[in-house]
Amino acid sequence: MISSISSFLLVALTIQSHFTTAVGTNDQVNADIDYGTFQNPSAHVRPRFRYWPNDASVNLTQVQDDVKEAGRVGAGGVELLGYYFYGNVQLFPGNYDRLQSDWSVYGFGSPAWKELQDTVLSTAQDEGLVVDLALGANQGAGVPAPYDSDGLLWDLTSFEVAVPVGERFNDILPGWGTGALVSASTALVLNTSTTSDGGTNTKLSEKSLADITHLVDGKGRVNLKFLSTPHGVEYRVFAYYQVHKHYAEVQAQDSVVIDVPQSPIETYEQNGSWVVDHFSALGAQTVIDFWEGHLLDDSTKKLIKQVGNYVWEDSQEFYFFENTFWTPKMSATFLKNRGYSVNKYVPLLINTLTTSKTASLYVLDNADGGESYVLGLSPDCKLRPLLVYGQVINFDQLTELNRLYLQTLSNWANRALGVQFSSQVGYNLPMDMMANIPYVNGPETETLAFFGSIDGYRQFAGAANLAGKRIISSESGAEFGRVYTQTIADILWNFKRSVAGSINQFIIHGLPYSGDYGNTTWPGFTSFDYTFSDMHGRHQPGWDFYSDFIGWTSRTQWFAQTGVPKMDVAFYIKSVDYRSYSNKYNSSDLVKAGYSYEYLSPDNFALPEAYVLKGIFAPKRQAFKALVVGPDQAMTGLGVAKLFQYALGGLPIVFYGGFPSKFEGIKSLALVLSRATLASLKLFPNVHITRSGQGLADVLASINVAPRTGVSSNGTWYTYWREDSLADYIYVYNDAAEDIPYGPGISMGHITFESTGIPYTYDAWTGDITPIVAYEQTKSHTTVYLELAPDQTTIIAFRRSGSRPFSVRKLPASTLGSASFSSSVSIFSAAGDDTQVTLSNGTDVKLPAVPSRPFVLSNWSLTVESWTSPSDPYDLGPVATRTNLSTITNIDELVPWHSISASLTNVSGRGYYTTHFQWPPSNTPTADAKSSIHGAFIDLGPIYHTVRVTINGHVLPPLDINWAHGDITKYLAKGSNAVEVVVSTPLGNSLRVIWDSIKTAGKTAGSQVLEPPAVHDYGLVAPVKIVPFREHKLA
C-alpha cells in the first residue's frame, strides 16, 4: 500500500560510497583496480544501464535524476547512448519517427549534446558512478562528417555488359565515371539458373576469369576480342567502382518527417551522422577527429579520466543497404597477404552481403562454387616464407582491415582519454569474430543476437579469455516482443546463462530518459517502436525493488571478474562468417559430465599465452587439458604448425569424428608440408582420432582427461571456474529452461571439485559467505552435495588458507540449513523420521525426529496498488497514478490476480499480501515437542518479478526469486505472527486497455505492435509455507 511502502524502500536502496576512481587502461585479469568486496562490489564491477536520451533537447535536471536513479537501485553507472530514433533510418517505408525538436540545434555532437554528456559525467562523479560513452548516436558506428569524406563507409557499385561468344568489345567500360575504378574483368558464362527462392545464380568458368584492369585507358575504353568456345553462353565484361555509400547512422532532419520547425542545415555538423569506414584506420580517425574537435575540451577530458570506463560501439549492423564491404586499401592488402590480385574474383563478392533470397549471385564451376574466394581463404594463396613455414597469420581481408579500425580506436581511448575501448566485435559480418576479439579492451556480446546460447557465448569468450581480458561484456535483456512484459526472472535467465558461458559484465537494456518529451505519453519514451524490452526506470512498479536483483548481478560479476577463468577443453574452429549462429558442439555429454569448454580460432594461436607447458595449453590463462578438432574444420598454415607444437608439448589432442581434410589459404609446397605435418600427428601417443558418433566425454575420460568439476545430478548443471591466489571459485547453474522460473522441479546431485581448499558458499543475493558444513574430501578432490531449483545458481569457493570448521560428510534430506563452527556444527532439520549423519571422522550420529510438519499459510488479504496513467498522460513527472484497490480478504489459494477477480485482469502495480500464523505451530503434538522446535523458514516458491517479505515488521534479506525461502527464526514471536509480502509487476497488463493511445513522439503503440500484450500471471502464485525446524548441535 502507498502508506506502508516507505519501510520497503529503505531496504531497497543499495548503499554505495560516493567516490570512485578511474578504471584506467589495464584490460587484463587481476588488474589493480577497486573491485570492492563480494558483499559490496565497487561501481566498476557492478552492472550498468544503457541510458537513452533521445536527443539533446531533454531536460538536464531530469538527466541528472535519471543517472542518480540508476545508482540508487545499485547499478555502477550508465552507458550514455543518444538514441535519436535509432537513426530514423527508413527500413520500413512510411514509418519515420517524427522529430520533436530541432536537430540542427540538438543533434549528436552539437554544443547541446556536449552539455548533456558533461552533465552525465559530472553527475556520475558526484554519485560515485562510472560512465561508458558511445562513439556516436544510434549504435555508435558513425559521426557527423563532410558528405564525401574518405573516412566514411565505402561500397562497390557494379556494371556489366554481355558480349556474344567470339565477338569483340571495343568500347567505354559500363558505368565509367561512377567512381574510382577498382577492377575490370571478364568471364565466360556457362549457364544461369533460378533458385527455389527466386534468386539467380550465374555460373562462370573459373579458367575464363581474366583481369583486364590494366588494359583500360584513361578514358575508360578497352579493346577486347573473345575466343569462340562450344561450351559457353556468352561473355561478360564487368566493371566495379569504389563509391561512398552515404550510409546514414542518423538521418539528417531534411530527410525525415518533422513535428517542429528545423533550422537550416548550414554545416556538416547539422547534417546527421554517417557510418564510417570500419575497414581502415582512416575510418577510426574520422571518429577521433570529430570527438577531439567537438566533444572534448580540457574539462571534459578530466571528467572522462575520473569517471570514464569505456568508449563504446554497438554491433556492426550497417549491411542492410550495402552491396559489398570495401575500402580503398582492400586490393593492395589482398595482394600483399595473398600474393595475387583480387581483381578477377570481384564478381563473386557482389551481393554476398544481402539477406534477400532473390539476389543475383555469380558462382564458379569449381568444387565449392567459388566460396573459398568469397570467404577470403583462397586455395591459390601463397604463404610468404618465414623462419618456420607455418608461422604465418593468414587473415581474411575484412577481418584484418577491421582490426586496424579497432586498434586505432583502442589506442586513442587508452592514450588520449585514459579509458578503454569496448566493441561488439565481429558478429553480424563476414569476418573471423574470434580473430579480432583480442584487439579491443572490452569485447562485448549480446543476449539478443546470441539467443541465450551458452555454446554461442563460449564461442565469443574463448579468444577474450586467452587474451587475458578482465571483462567480457554483454548487452543484456533485449527481447523481441517483450516490452513492458519482461520479468526479472526473464532477465536473470539471460544473465545466468551468460555467466555459464564466461560472460562477466552486463549492460542492462535499457534505461530511457524518463522526463517529458514531445508527443509522448505515460509510461514514457519507449524505444524501438514498442518492440524490444525493456523500459526500465522509475515508471516501472518494480523499480524500487530492483536493488535485489542488481545486488545479485553485482556480486555474481564480482566473482566472475575475480582471478583467472579455467576451462577443461578447447575446440578448434575456423569461421569467417558470423552473420548467424549455431551451436558448434550439440551433444550434452560434456556438460552432463561436468566438462567446461570454449572455442578458439587458429588465429588466436598467435597470442602470447597460447603455448603448452607440461601438457597444459595456455597454463596462465584457461589451462586447457585437451584440444578438440572436428573433421569439418579448415586447417590453416598457422593452425597446423601450432597443433604440431602443442602435440610435442604433450597436450592431448582429439580429432573428433575423423581427421580433417580441408586446408585453407595454403598452396603448393606449403600445402604439401602442412598435410605432412598434420599426418605426422597420428604418430603421437597424445593425439587421438575417434570415429563418428563416439561420445566425446567418454573419449576424454578414456585418455585420463578429467573435468575440474565432475557432475552427477538429475538435472543439467553448468559450471564456471575462476581462481586467484586466495581461492578457487566455482559458479554452478541449473539449466531448466522450460517455464522459467518453474521448470521441471528441484534438481539434486553432487559435484566433485578438483580442489582441496576450505569450502564456502557465496550467496549472491545477500552477500553472505558461509562455510559449507557437509562435504567429502580426498587428497586431490572435494565432493559437495547440492540441491538447486530450476534456473538457480550458487557460488562455491575453496579458500587456500584459514581454519577449517567442523564438518560432516553428507546432510540428511530433511536439512533446511546448517551452520559450522571451529569445533561444532548445527543442522536445521525439517519434519521427518529419525535419521543419522556421518561426521568427517567417520562417526555416525543419530538425529531424532522432528515432530512439527510444514504448514501452508492461508486467509490472506490482498491490497493491489494499481499503477495507471496520470490524468494528463503527457505529464511524465509522476511515476504513475497509484490507487489502492479494494482489499480482497479470505484468500486461501494463491493464484494469479486475474484468477482472483476478473477486475484485476488489466491491472499492474504492486500487491500487498498480509496474513498471520501461530507460533509455535498448532500442529506440534506435545509441549515437549514444541520445545524441540527451534525455528522456521518461510518458503514462497518461485517468484516471477520482485518480492519483499516482512515478519512482524522485520524485513527479510533479499530472497532468491527462483526459490524464495529464508530463515525467519530471529523474527518469530510467541503467539500471533504477522506476515507481509509485497510483490510488483511489469506494466503490460495495465497497458492493454490503453495500447492504442499511448505514444512515443506521436506514434501509438497500437500502430507499431497491432496486438496489445497478452494477459500475464501477476502476484503470488505458489503456496507460501512455514517450515519448522529442529537444531541439532554436533561436536
Domain boundaries, the chain: 2-147+274-317+397-564, 154-244+341-374, 567-697, 709-813+815-847, 855-1034
SS3 1034: strand
- For 484-503, write each residue's pLDDT tens digit: 999 999 999 999 999 999 99
Alpha carbon distances (Å) from 171 to 163, 187, 253: 11, 17, 43
Cell numbers given for 43: 561501481
- As a whole number of angstroms, the distance between CA 360 and CA 377 comes to 22
For residues 427-451, give the mean pLDDT: 93
The answer to whether the beta carbons of residues 50 and 507 sit under 8 Å apart is yes
Nearest to 374 by CA among 431, 321, 436: 431
For residues 848-875, give the mean pLDDT: 95
Cell numbers given for 287: 571518429
**E runs forming strands in 195-296:** 200-204, 210-211, 221-225, 234-244, 248-250, 273-275
- For 140-183, write each residue's pLDDT tens digit: 999 999 999 999 999 999 999 999 999 999 999 999 999 999 99
Cell numbers given for 170: 571495343
Task: Give the pLDDT score at 13.
Answer: 41
For residues 798-818, give the mean pLDDT: 87
Task: Give the pLDDT score at 619.
Answer: 99
Q: Specify the amino acid at residue 762.
A: Y
Nearest to 771 by CA among 782, 781, 664, 779: 782
Pick 932 or 325 by higher pLDDT: 325
Residues 6 or more apart from 597 whose CB is under 8 A from it? 458, 567, 568, 569, 570, 571, 585, 590, 628
Task: Give the pLDDT score at 375.
Answer: 56
For residues 773-777, give the mean pLDDT: 93
Would strands 77-80 and 48-52 be described as parallel, antiparallel, or unpaired?
Answer: parallel
The answer to whether the beta carbons of residues 838 and 825 sit under 8 Å apart is no
Task: Give the pLDDT score at 373.
Answer: 63
- As a whole number of angstroms, the distance between CA 589 and CA 695 comes to 7
SS3 615: coil
- As a whole number of angstroms, the distance between CA 816 and CA 1026 comes to 12
SS3 572: strand
Fold agreement between 154-244+341-374 and 709-813+815-847: no
The answer to whether the beta carbons of residues 363 and 348 sit under 8 Å apart is yes
Residue recorded with cell 535519436: 84
Task: Give the pLDDT score at 380.
Answer: 38
Residue 762's H or E segment, with its range, is strand 758-762
Pick 883 or 357 by higher pLDDT: 883
Nearest to 806 by CA among 818, 816, 792, 788: 818
Sequential DSSP letters for 920-952 = S-TT--SHHHHHT--EEEEE----SSEEEEEET
Task: Give the pLDDT score at 816.
Answer: 84
Instruction: Give yes or no for residue 350 having a pLDDT over 90.
Output: no
Three-class SS string for 486-545? CCHHHHHHHHHHHHHCCCCEEEEEEEECCCCCCCCCCCCCCCHHHCECCCCCCCCCCHHH
| pLDDT range class, residue 387, cuts 50, 70, 90 | very low
| pLDDT range class, residue 6, cuts 50, 70, 90 | very low
- As a whole number of angstroms, the distance between CA 778 and CA 806 comes to 16
Cell numbers given for 485: 512484459
% residues pLDDT > 90 (the chain): 76
Instruction: State which fold the 709-813+815-847 domain adopts.
Output: Immunoglobulin-like (2.60.40)
Instruction: Give yes or no for residue 348 having a pLDDT over 80.
Output: yes
Residue recorded with cell 561484456: 473
Phi, psi of 879 (to 5 degrees): -70, -35
- For 21-60, write each residue's pLDDT tens digit: 667 999 999 999 999 999 999 999 999 999 999 999 999 9
Task: Give the pLDDT score at 3.
Answer: 40
Hey, which CATH number is domain 855-1034, 3.30.2090.10, 2.60.120.260, 3.40.50.300, 3.40.309.10? 2.60.120.260
Cell numbers given for 848: 531424532
SS3 1000: strand
Sequential DSSP letters for 10-72 = HHHPPP--S------S--BTT-SS--B-SSSB-TTTS-EEEEE-SSTTS-HHHHHHHHHHHHH
**E runs forming strands in 834-908:** 835-839, 844-847, 855-856, 860-868, 881-884, 888-891
- As a whole number of angstroms, the distance between CA 621 and CA 600 comes to 13
DSSP assignment, residue 97?
Answer: P
Nearest to 646 by CA among 691, 685, 612, 692: 612
- Maximum average pLDDT range among 384-398, 536-550, 671-685, 914-928: 536-550
Nearest to 594 by CA among 712, 423, 441, 731: 712
Alpha carbon distances (Å) from 96 to 85, 86, 161, 528, 531: 9, 11, 38, 12, 15
Nearest to 732 by CA among 469, 555, 556: 556
Query: What's 567-697's CATH class?
Result: alpha beta
Instruction: Give yes or no for residue 819 having a pLDDT over 90.
Output: no
Which ranges in 595-713 belong to alpha helices (H)?
Answer: 637-648, 668-680, 696-702
| pLDDT range class, residue 386, cuts 50, 70, 90 | very low
SS3 722: strand
Pick 651 or 817 by higher pLDDT: 651
Residue 68 buriedness (CB in 10 A; 0-12 / 13-18 / 19+):
middle
- As a whole number of angstroms, the distance between CA 88 and CA 80 comes to 18
| pLDDT range class, residue 15, cuts 50, 70, 90 | very low
For residues 583-594, give the mean pLDDT: 95
For residues 672-696, give the mean pLDDT: 92
Instruction: Output the average pLDDT for the chain.
Output: 91
For residues 527-540, give the mean pLDDT: 97
The answer to whether the beta carbons of residues 252 and 93 sit under 8 Å apart is no
Cell numbers given for 510: 535499457
Task: For domain 2-147+274-317+397-564, give the CATH number.
Answer: 3.20.20.120
Nearest to 430 by CA among 371, 382, 480: 371
| pLDDT range class, residue 371, cuts 50, 70, 90 | low
Instruction: Give yes or no for residue 393 having a pLDDT over 70.
Output: no
Radius of gyration of the chain (CA): 31
Name the β-bridge partners of 730. Answer: 721, 796
When mean pLDDT is compared across 62-71, 649-658, 725-734, 926-935, the lowest value belongs to 926-935
- As a whole number of angstroms, the distance between CA 999 and CA 258 comes to 16
- As a whole number of angstroms, the distance between CA 724 and CA 868 comes to 50
Which ranges in 223-297 belong to alpha helices (H)?
Answer: 281-294
- For 192-235, write each residue's pLDDT tens digit: 988 777 788 899 999 999 999 999 999 999 999 998 877 899 99
The answer to whether the beta carbons of residues 691 and 658 sit under 8 Å apart is yes
Cα diameter, the chain: 111
Instruction: Give yes or no for residue 7 having a pLDDT over 50.
Output: no
Residue recorded with cell 518494480: 542
b or e along 254-264 (b: 16 or more beta carbons within 10 Å of the residue's beta carbon)? Answer: eebeeeeebee
- For 74-120, write each residue's pLDDT tens digit: 999 999 999 999 998 765 556 889 999 999 999 999 999 999 999 99
Query: What's 154-244+341-374's CATH class?
Result: mainly beta
225 CB neighbour count, 10 Å cutoff: 10
Distance from the Cα of residue 358 to its chain's centroid: 32
SS3 974: coil
| pLDDT range class, residue 438, cuts 50, 70, 90 | very high
Residue 15 buriedness (CB in 10 A; 0-12 / 13-18 / 19+):
exposed
- As a whole number of angstroms, the distance between CA 501 and CA 454 comes to 5
| pLDDT range class, residue 667, cuts 50, 70, 90 | low
For residues 371-394, give the mean pLDDT: 38
The answer to whether the beta carbons of residues 543 and 490 sit under 8 Å apart is no
